Each structure stands twice: as structure tokens, then as C-alpha cells.
């Protein structure tokens, strides 16, 4: 059984974590299959947006508890992370193709990191976000130590991490952890609509904007302004910008081609 299902809907690729019996825990080949699926989607110029969700009642339960070699002693677990989940988080954050994440149920532990590594995150009303690390006596991983405080600030991130209390989808929206909460029955359609909107947009512009936002997080103002100037020069060389400007003047929808 494939641990990650791939489906194409026009210019959108849907990736579904497919280990529902274990609430899509990061067990077996799930991470390696997700990494390969991301590679394929990102490399395909016909794919203009990626949608990531989970099968069954959970989005991703994080690391599988018990069994296997997930919990090795000492440095071995660090080596395991560097070879498995870390590249996936970096790949999602660095993807020039925008990624929508539809959190269909609980996201726990590193599953929170995978969710927050997307560009636009929406969640079903029944979804929850749980930094379960402290309950196990573990440290944070999956990029949560950075991605969480970027979204909701240091005070809230620290409390969630140290208390290990679940955060429901409604409060996650209020705090800015996610873009929005939707009713469970509407999740996939809402996520697809967002993904399609991204797919219809200018790919070069979106890749530049993604890079700018990430780079500006800890950069000095002068470096940020210089990066904006360089990025704008790149955007102004595209046919998509000329099309966008023409569409604005002519009061019609733009037809972006990615050139």
C-alpha cells in the first residue's frame, strides 16, 4: 500500500498521507514517499499548486510511538531526523510551487511542523494542533520551534510547547496559526479552490514572494530592500507581468502562463 497517494486535478497535484490506521503517523516509508512525491510535483512545470492532506480521521500524528527504530538513543535519532523529516520540511518551505495544507484532523508533534511548512493552511473545525513533545519528555522537532513562533508569537508558542495542550481549529484561526477554519464537510472543496486560485496565478511572482517572506524574517532592512529590488527586477522581465498589467488596464482576468 502506498503511504502517499497522488492525484492530479488539472494544474493541481493532491498529495494524501495514507496511513489512516495510525492517523498518518510518520512510520515506515511515509516520509520518503512524501519526499519523492514532492520532488515529482515540484519538478513538473504543469503543476502550478500542491495540496497536502491526510486520509481518514487524522492529518498526521507525528512520529510513531513504539517499535521500529524511530526512537534510537543518543545521536542516532538526530541522524534519523536529518535524513528523513528535516529534508521534507525544507523542501516544502523552499518549494517554488505554492503548497496548500488541508488539516483534516489532529496534527500532533512533527505533524504540526508538516502542516505549518505549507504556504496556506486551512483546517477542519474538528482539527486540533498538539505539540505533544513535552508529554513524552522530548524536544521540539519538525521545524516547530521556528514555524510556530513565526505564526503566533513567542509567548503563545512557548506556552503551547511547554504545556502540551491541544489547540482547536477555531482558536488556531484566531491566533493566526492557520489561514482559516472551515466546516469538516467543506474542507477539501475549500482547499481545492485555494489551490486552483494559486495555480491560476503567476508562478514566477509566487516563487519570488515565497522567497522574500522567508528571507526577510531575520534579515536587516537594507538586505531586505535589496532583495526586493532584485526580485522585482526578475518579475519585471516576465511575460506574466506584462499580461497582469494589461489585464489590470483592460479590466479583465489575467491569463498567466508562467513565462
Q: Give residue 64's pLDDT.
A: 76
> What's the pLDDT band for 65 if we cut at 50, 70, 90?
low
Complete edge-to-edge strand list for the sheet that includes strand 49-54 = 4-9, 12-17, 49-54, 99-103, 120-124, 180-182
**Rg of the chain taking only CA atoms, in angstroms:** 19
Query: SS3 of 186, please?
Result: helix
Q: Rounded distance, CA 18 to CA 89, Å?
A: 18
What are 192-219's pLDDT values in tens digits?
A: 999 999 999 999 999 999 999 999 999 9
Query: SS3 of 35, please?
Result: helix
Q: Give residue 66's pLDDT.
A: 58
What are 231-246's pLDDT values in tens digits?
A: 999 999 999 999 999 9
Q: Give residue 72's pLDDT.
A: 53
Residue among 235, 256, 198, 166 at smallest CA distance from 51 = 198
Q: Give residue 76's pLDDT.
A: 85
Residue among 26, 58, 57 at smallest CA distance from 141 = 26
Domains delineated in the chain = 4-199 (3.90.226.10), 203-250 (1.10.12)
Residue 171 above 90 pLDDT? yes
Q: Is the pTM of this model over 0.75?
A: yes
Amino acid at each position: 500500500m502506498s503511504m502517499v497517494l497522488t492525484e492530479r486535478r488539472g494544474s493541481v497535484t493532491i498529495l494524501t498521507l495514507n496511513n489512516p490506521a495510525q492517523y498518518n503517523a510518520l512510520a515506515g516509508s511515509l516520509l520518503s514517499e512524501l519526499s519523492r512525491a514532492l520532488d515529482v510535483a515540484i519538478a513538473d512545470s504543469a503543476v502550478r499548486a500542491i495540496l497536502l492532506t491526510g486520509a481518514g480521521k487524522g492529518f498526521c500524528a507525528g512520529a510513531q510511538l513504539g517499535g521500529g527504530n524511530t526512537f534510537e538513543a543518543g545521536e542516532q535519532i538526530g541522524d534519523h531526523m536529518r535524513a528523513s523529516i528535516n529534508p521534507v520540511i525544507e523542501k516544502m518551505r523552499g518549494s517554488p510551487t505554492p503548497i496548500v495544507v488541508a488539516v483534516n484532523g489532529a496534527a500532533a508533534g512533527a505533524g504540526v511542523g508538516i502542516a505549518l511548512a505549507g504556504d496556506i493552511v486551512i483546517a477542519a473545525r474538528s482539527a486540533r494542533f498538539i505539540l505533544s513533545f513535552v508529554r513524552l519528555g522530548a524536544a521540539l522537532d519538525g521545524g516547530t520551534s521556528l514555524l510556530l513562533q513565526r505564526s503566533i508569537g513567542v509567548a503563545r508558542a512557548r506556552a503551547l510547547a511547554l504545556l502540551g495542550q491541544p489547540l482547536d481549529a477555531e482558536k488556531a484561526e484566531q491566533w493566526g496559526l492557520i489561514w482559516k477554519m472551515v466546516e469538516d464537510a467543506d474542507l477539501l472543496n475549500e482547499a481545492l479552490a485555494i489551490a486552483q486560485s494559486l495555480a491560476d496565478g503567476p508562478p514566477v511572482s509566487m516563487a519570488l514572494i515565497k522567497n522574500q517572506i522567508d528571507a526577510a524574517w531575520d534579515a536587516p532592512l537594507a538586505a531586505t530592500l535589496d532583495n526586493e529590488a532584485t526580485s522585482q527586477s526578475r518579475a519585471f522581465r516576465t511575460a506574466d507581468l506584462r499580461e497582469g498589467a494589461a489585464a489590470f488596464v483592460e479590466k479583465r482576468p489575467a491569463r498567466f502562463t508562467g513565462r
